[in-house]
Amino acid sequence: MMDRRDFLRQSAAVAAFSIVPAVAARTYAANAKIALGLTGCGGRGRWIGRLFEEFSDFKVVSIHDYFRNRLHQTSRDLSIPEERCHAGLDGYLAMLNDGVDAVAVESPPYFHPEHAAAALAAGKHAYIAKPMGVDAAGCLRIVEAAEKAPGLCALVDFQTRNNEFYREAVKKVRDGAIGDAVMGQCFYHCGRLGTQAKPGTETARLRNWVFDKALSGDIIVEQNIHVIDVANWLIGGHPLRATGTGGRKARVDVGDCWDHFIVAF
């Protein structure tokens, strides 16, 4: 097994390239690459898989997704043989038995605790897309799984922290460039995201998970977490209390997520 330092070094190389406008003892074949399993083969998952291979010493060797069409596209993009493409809700278990050293969890957030905890329990490092989960219980499940596997690394992809401009801004604030910070405001504006299936069809809820509160955690968890993380980073801590409001006025034709929030922490 590779150690935590190796995993962090290699994963950081990927995270540095995952900003959007919004020595391994076991190797794969004879190329000395770190064997990576990928669960979640949507657009982000395929992209992350390519980044791992392009900017680090990983090789994606096994993939999982509920939908077979996504598996087929990813298998073509990453040259994965058919016998290492696993479909269905429990296909990730077969992926974990394909000789992987680490797993990239890029499935819908509702499944992150299940997939990440299983990877850690199986002795695999875990690279987890934000958010960790859709609720505190799910996040704590990953924390507990990581605590039971002290030789492994669980890394959550808050990619904004690799942006050089944000890093410089945080440094200046902490160095006192604006004096004592007593309050701050964070904004996250985003246009409409595209739907992946017509509402009302059999697979619409899972394909359109980003619009589903239970599967995504709502927009404040799934997307706004970026600016909340930046605020935590700037202050070097976490909120003690929060109060807020929001609603659903503009995007009412799909799912049940709200489309605006205002929260005071």
Interval 93-111 mean pLDDT: 98
pLDDT over 80 at 137, yes or no: yes
- pLDDT one-digit tens code per residue, 224-259: 999 999 999 998 999 999 999 999 998 899 999 999
Among 14-18, 113-117, 150-154, 166-170, the minimum mean pLDDT is found in: 14-18
Tell me the mean pLDDT in the region 25-48: 80
pLDDT at 15: 58
Q: Is a pLDDT exceeding 70 seen at residue 2?
A: no
What is the reported pLDDT for 191? 84
Band of pLDDT at residue 207, cut at 50, 70 and 90: very high
Strand order in the sheet with 34-39: 85-87, 58-65, 34-39, 102-105, 125-129, 154-157
- Does 25 have pLDDT greater than 80? no
Q: For residues 237 and 95, which has the higher predicted lDDT (pLDDT)?
A: 95
Ranges of CATH 3.40.50.720 domains, the chain: 4-160
Calculate mean pLDDT across residues 133-155.
Answer: 96
**Class at the top of the CATH hierarchy for domain 4-160:** alpha beta
- Read off the pLDDT of each residue in 157-186 and give the average, rounded to a whole number: 93
Q: Crossing angle of helices 68-78/43-55, nearest 10°?
A: 20
Question: How far is it, in rounded angstroms, from Cα 186 to Cα 216?
Answer: 21
More confident residue, 194 or 15: 194
- Which comes out higher in pLDDT, residue 172 or 182? 172
- What was the pLDDT predicted at 200? 87
Q: Is residue 136 scored above 60 in pLDDT?
A: yes
